[in-house]
Amino acid sequence: MGIVIKDILAVLPENGSDVVKETSIYIEGEKITGIGIQPDGFQEDKVIEGKDRLVIPGFINAHTHSYMTTFRNVADDLSFMDWLFGTIDPLEGKLVPEDAYWGAKLAIMEMMRCGTTTFSDMQMHIHQTTRAVKETGMRAVIGRGLVGGMDGDKVNEAGMSRLNEAYEEMEDGKDCSRLNFRLAPHAPYTCDPGYLKYLAQEAKKKELGIHIHLSESVSECEGTAKDYGCTPIEYAEKAGVFDVPCVAAHCVQVDDKDIEILARHGVSVVTNPASNMKLGNGFAPIQKMMDAGVNVCLGTDGAASNNSLNMFHELSLLTLVHKGTGKTPQCISAKEGFRIATINGAKALGLEAEIGSIEVGKKADLAILNLNTPSMTPRNNLIAGLCYSANGSEVETVLINGQITMENRKILTFDEEEVYREIGKICTRLELDKKTY
For the chain, domains (ranges, CATH) are 2-57+362-411 (2.30.40.10), 59-348 (3.20.20.140)
Strand (E) or helix (H) holding 104: helix 97-113
Q: How far apart are CA 145 and CA 313, in angstroms?
A: 26
pLDDT by residue for the chain (437 residues), tens digit each? Answer: 899 999 999 999 999 999 999 999 999 999 999 999 999 999 999 999 999 999 999 999 999 999 999 999 888 888 888 888 888 888 888 899 999 999 999 999 999 999 999 999 999 999 999 999 999 999 999 999 999 999 999 999 999 999 999 999 999 999 999 999 999 999 999 999 999 999 999 999 999 999 999 999 999 999 999 999 999 999 999 999 999 999 999 999 999 999 999 999 999 999 999 999 999 999 999 999 999 999 999 999 999 999 999 999 999 999 999 999 999 999 999 999 999 999 999 999 999 999 999 999 999 999 999 999 999 999 999 999 999 999 999 999 999 999 999 999 999 999 999 999 999 999 999 888 665 54
Q: Which amino acid is residue 27, in one-letter code?
A: I
Concatenating the DSSP letter of every residue in 289-304 gives HHHTT-EEEE----TT
- CA dist., res. 416 & res. 177, Å (int): 24
Q: What's residue 437's pLDDT?
A: 40
Phi, psi at residue 290, to the nearest 5°? -60, -40
Closest C-alpha among 140, 95, 115, 76 to residue 423: 95
The bridge status of strand 2-14 relative to strand 46-49 is: parallel
Cα distance from N-terminal residue to C-terminal residue, the chain? 49
CA distance 163 to 145: 9
> By the 8 A CB rule, do 178 and 133 touch?
yes
Confidence (pLDDT) at 364: 98
CB of 211 closer than 8 Å to CB of 120: yes
